[in-house]
C-alpha cells in the first residue's frame, strides 16, 4: 500500500535556518587586508622617496618611478587580498549538511566579499591618509620629470594666456636687455627700462601663446634690444633668436614632461585595475583554501578525540 504524505511532512522546511553568509569572518578579513594595505603603502612610499632626487641626472626617471609604483601596488593588492580572503575562509564556522561544491562556492564568495569590503575601506576611509602618505613621493617624481622649473613656468604661461608680467619671462627679458658694457646698466633710465621690459614681456608671452613670433614683433624686439643694450642691430637680432630658441626649447621640454606623466598615469591606472581584478581572484582562492584547511583540521580533531 503506497505511503501517503502527512501535513507535517509537506510543511517541513528544506532550507537551513542559518544564513549562508557569515559577516563576522568577512569583516575580520576586510579589516586585516585594509591594515596590511596601509602598512605596505607606507613602506612603498618610503622606498619611492628613496628613488627620486632633486639633482639632475640622479634618481629614477618618472617612467621608472611609475612602473615601480604600479608593480608595488600589485604586490600590495595580492598580499592583502590573500590575507583577507584566507582569514574570511578560515574563521567561518563549519557548515553541516552542505555539499562540498556548495561549501567551495560559499568560501570563494566570502573571500570575494572580504576583498570588496577591504577595497571600499581603503578607497573611502583610508583614501585621504594614503594620498597624504604617497603624495610627497609622486610630487617629487613630477618635479624631477619636469626637467627645469623654467620650462614648466613657460608652459604654464602659454596655457594661461599671460594676463600679467611675472617671473615666467623675467629671466629671458633680463637676457635680452643685458648690456654689452655693464657700465650702461647704471646709466639706464628706470622708467624707460621698465617700459621696454614690459613690452618685451608682452611680446614673448603673446608669441608663446601663438607658438611663434611674427616678423614685425621680431624686428621691433631686435631694435628695442639694440637701443637698450648698445648692441648692433645684427647682434641684437642674433640675441633675440637665441632667447626665443631657448624659450621654445623649454616649452618643448615641459610638453614632453607632461606627455610622459600622462602616459605614466594611464599605465598606472590600467595596471591598478588589473591588479584589483587579480586581487579579487586571489582573495576568493585564499578563502577556499582557508575554509578547506579549517574543515580538515576539525575533522582530524574529531577523529583523534
Query: Each residue of 191-246: pLDDT tens digit?
Result: 667 777 777 887 787 777 777 788 888 888 888 888 888 888 888 889 888 888 88
**Helix, strand, or coil here: 239?**
helix
Q: At what angle do helices 149-160 and 233-304 cross, to 10 degrees?
A: 100
Place of cell 602616459: 263
Section 175-191 average pLDDT:
60
Radius of gyration of the chain (CA): 34
The answer to whether the predicted template modeling score (pTM) of the entire model surpasses 0.95 is no
| 82 neighbors 99 (Cβ within 8 angstroms) | no
The mean pLDDT of 271-300, rounded to a whole number, is 86
Q: Is 55 exposed, middle or buried (0-12, 13-18, 19+ CB in 10 A)?
A: exposed
According to DSSP, residue 5 is labeled -
pLDDT higher than 70, residue 12: no
- Please tell me the total number of residues recorded for the chain in this structure: 305
Instruction: Among 67-76, 92-101, 103-112, 121-130, name the one with the lowest average pLDDT.
Output: 121-130
CA atoms within 13 A on the CB side of 74: 15
Q: What's the pLDDT score for residue 179? A: 63
Averaged pLDDT, 87-115: 86
3-state secondary structure 81-138: HHHHHHHHHHCCCCCCCCCHHHHHHHHHHHHHHHHHHHHHHHHCCCHHHHHHHHHHHH
Contacts of 250 (CB under 8 A, 6+ apart): 148, 150, 151, 154, 155
DSSP-derived 3-state class of residue 145: helix
Q: Read off the DSSP letter of residue 200.
A: H
Joined together, the cell numbers standing for residue 25 give: 569572518
Q: Pick 10 or 173 by higher pLDDT.
A: 173
Residues 48 and 65: beta-carbon distance below 8 Å: yes
Q: Helix, strand, or coil here: 53?
A: coil
Supply the pLDDT for residue 125: 67
Instruction: Compute φ and ψ for 232, nearest 5 degrees.
Output: -70, 160
More confident residue, 300 or 135: 300
pLDDT tens digit string along 111-164? Answer: 999 999 998 888 876 556 555 545 544 554 455 444 444 444 444 444 444 444
Write the Ramachandran bin of 230: left for phi over 0, alpha for psi from -120 to 50, otherwise beta: left
Q: Name which of 242, 245, 54, 12 is nearest 148 in CA terms.
A: 54
How many helical (H) and strand (E) elements, i.e. helices and strands, does the chain have?
11, 0
pLDDT in tens, 19-66: 778 888 999 999 999 899 888 888 877 776 555 544 545 555 656 666
Amino acid at each position: 500500500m503506497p505511503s501517503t504524505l502527512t501535513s507535517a511532512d509537506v510543511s517541513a522546511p528544506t532550507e537551513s535556518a542559518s544564513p549562508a553568509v557569515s559577516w563576522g569572518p568577512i569583516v575580520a578579513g576586510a579589516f586585516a587586508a585594509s591594515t596590511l594595505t596601509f602598512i605596505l603603502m607606507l613602506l612603498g612610499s618610503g622606498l619611492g622617496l628613496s628613488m627620486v632626487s632633486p639633482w639632475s641626472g640622479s634618481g629614477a626617471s618618472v617612467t621608472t618611478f611609475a612602473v615601480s609604483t604600479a608593480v608595488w601596488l600589485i604586490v600590495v593588492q595580492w598580499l592583502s587580498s590573500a590575507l583577507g580572503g584566507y582569514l574570511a575562509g578560515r574563521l567561518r564556522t563549519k557548515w553541516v549538511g552542505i555539499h562540498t561544491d556548495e561549501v567551495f562556492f560559499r568560501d570563494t564568495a566570502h573571500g570575494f566579499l572580504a576583498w570588496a569590503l577591504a577595497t571600499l575601506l581603503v578607497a573611502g576611509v583610508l583614501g585621504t591618509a594614503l594620498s597624504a602618505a604617497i603624495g610627497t613621493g609622486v610630487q617629487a617624481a613630477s618635479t624631477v620629470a619636469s626637467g627645469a622649473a623654467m620650462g614648466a613656468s613657460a608652459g604654464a604661461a602659454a596655457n594661461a594666456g599671460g594676463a600679467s608680467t611675472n617671473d615666467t619671462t623675467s629671466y629671458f627679458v633680463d637676457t635680452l636687455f643685458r648690456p654689452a658694457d655693464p657700465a650702461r646698466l647704471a646709466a639706464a633710465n628706470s622708467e624707460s627700462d621698465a617700459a621696454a621690459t614690459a613690452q618685451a614681456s608682452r611680446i614673448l608671452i603673446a608669441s608663446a601663446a601663438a607658438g611663434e613670433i611674427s616678423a614685425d614683433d621680431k624686428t621691433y624686439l631686435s631694435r628695442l634690444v639694440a637701443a637698450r643694450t648698445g648692441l648692433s642691430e645684427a647682434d641684437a637680432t642674433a640675441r633675440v633668436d637665441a632667447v626665443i630658441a631657448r624659450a621654445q626649447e623649454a616649452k618643448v621640454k615641459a610638453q614632453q614632461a607632461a606627455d610622459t606623466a600622462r602616459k605614466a598615469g594611464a599605465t598606472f591606472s590600467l595596471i591598478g585595475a588589473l591588479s584589483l581584478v587579480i586581487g579579487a581572484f586571489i582573495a576568493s582562492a585564499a578563502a577556499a583554501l582557508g575554509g578547506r584547511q579549517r574543515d580538515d583540521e576539525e575533522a582530524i580533531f574529531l577523529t583523534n578525540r
